[in-house]
């Protein structure tokens, strides 16, 4: 009988040690995804017939977003539509394209191919230069437009 009690005590101690060990082990830190799509459906955004789209994924509670939206709006023209994809208004688009951080900017062509992206704050100069490079490849030596066949 004493052997059975000793064996049971050993099993209980082992289970308790395993439980305590699991609790002490820290969880792996969450890794941010922060990736933007490489292809979009232009019908999801304003004026899909325009040759170029600058989509700014933003949130009304983000002060940096307001600055980026303002800089992007200056790019609006006959050939470029700027669409503020504000989270509380367009939550479905954020979810559809799995955008999980703001501000995020993407520049897409008429076919919905994303040619350039920015995460976080962006200067007006960098944003303007990226749109210019996407519209006219080779116009700047340090091109930020990607995915374009020359």
Cα dist from 97 to 87, 108, 114, whole Å: 12, 13, 12
The tokens of 150 are what?
A: 């020359």
Which pLDDT value is given to residue 147?
Answer: 43
Rounded CA separation 75/39 (Å): 21
Q: Which residues of 131-145 are buried (b: 16+ CB within 10 A; e: fewer)?
A: bbbbbeeeeeeebbb
In a structure prediction context, what are the per-residue pLDDT tens digits for the chain, which is 150 residues long?
667 556 566 666 666 666 666 666 555 565 555 688 999 999 999 999 999 999 999 999 999 999 999 999 999 999 999 999 999 999 999 999 999 999 999 999 999 999 999 999 999 999 999 999 998 887 765 655 654 333
- What is the pTM for the complete model shown? 0.73
H helix and E strand count, the chain: 4, 4
CB 56 within 8 A of CB 117: no
Could you tell me if 80 and 108 are in contact, meaning their C-beta atoms sit under 8 angstroms apart?
Answer: no
CA angle 86, 69, 48 (to 5 degrees): 70
Q: Which domains does the chain have, with CATH numbers?
A: 42-135 (3.40.30.10)
């Amino acid at each position: 009988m004493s052997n059975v009690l000793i064996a049971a005590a050993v099993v209980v101690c082992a289970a308790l040690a395993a439980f305590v060990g699991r609790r002490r082990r820290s969880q792996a830190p969450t890794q941010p995804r922060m990736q933007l799509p490489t292809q979009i459906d232009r019908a999801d955004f304003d004026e899909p017939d325009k040759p170029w789209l600058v989509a700014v994924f933003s949130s009304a509670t983000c002060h940096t977003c307001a600055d980026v939206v303002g800089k992007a709006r200056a790019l609006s023209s006959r050939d470029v539509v700027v669409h503020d994809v504000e989270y509380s208004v367009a939550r479905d688009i954020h979810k559809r394209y799995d955008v999980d951080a703001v501000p995020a900017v993407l520049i897409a062509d008429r076919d919905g191919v994303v040619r350039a992206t920015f995460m976080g704050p962006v200067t007006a100069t960098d944003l303007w230069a990226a749109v210019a490079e996407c519209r006219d490849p080779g116009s700047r030596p340090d091109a930020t437009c990607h995915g374009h066949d020359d």
